[in-house]
Amino acid sequence: MMITTRKATLQDLPAVHDLVRELAVYEHAETELTASVEDYRRDFEAGIFNVILAEDAGQIVGIALYHFAYSTWKGRMMYLEDFVVTDSRRGQGIGRILFDAFLEECRVQECRVVKWQVLDWNEPALNFYKKYDAAIETNWWNGKIYTMIK
């Protein structure tokens, strides 16, 4: 096994979408995934998000999908929206390699904070983040409105 990381290009987006679906299934929410590969292409080209891929012999085995965000308290921030290692390749250290590559990109982009979210029942993920001395905040709730397009 020789895991390498690189930034995704437009051509990688179908494989990215496949891994997003895999995580949606793991989170018991497959029907919630309504964005298409075509949506991904449009928004990737608009510069709204980026992806770092983990590959083993040219096969994509993990993704970290992220975008700039902003902390009015701390300044420039990076937000990790989705972070997936394909099910058959978990427990092999690939997540660590991918997360380290993501943190390095955050440093290059001069971010002062990295932020993501984790489901409160996801013990394996919470244990993973503990290794990074991450702060876990349990007192913020998410508000969402889905009715934008009329």
Q: Which residues contact a second copy by CB under 8 A?
A: 20, 24, 29, 32-35, 39-40, 43, 48-49, 65, 67-76, 79, 81-82, 103, 106-107, 110-121, 126, 129, 132-150
Cβ distance to a second copy smaller for residue 68 or 97: 68
CB of 92 to a second copy, least distance (A): 22
CB under 8 Å, gap of 24 or more: what pairs does 106-111 form?
106/78, 109/68, 109/76, 109/78, 110/76, 111/68, 111/76, 111/77, 111/78
Q: Which is nearer to a second copy, 1 or 131 (CB)?
A: 131
Q: Which is nearer to a second copy, 34 or 57 (CB)?
A: 34
Q: Strand 3-7 and strand 50-56: pairing?
A: antiparallel
Question: DSSP class of residue 139?
Answer: S
The residue annotated as part of the active site, out of 40, 70, 129, 132, is 129
Question: Among this protein's residues, is 129 annotated catalytic?
Answer: yes
Calpha distance 111→99 (Å, rounded): 15
Q: What is the DSSP letter of 147?
A: -
Whole-number minimum distance, CB 5 to a second copy, in Å?
18
Q: How far is the CB of 10 from a second copy (least distance, A)?
A: 15
71 bridge partner residues: 75
- Residues known to be catalytic: 129
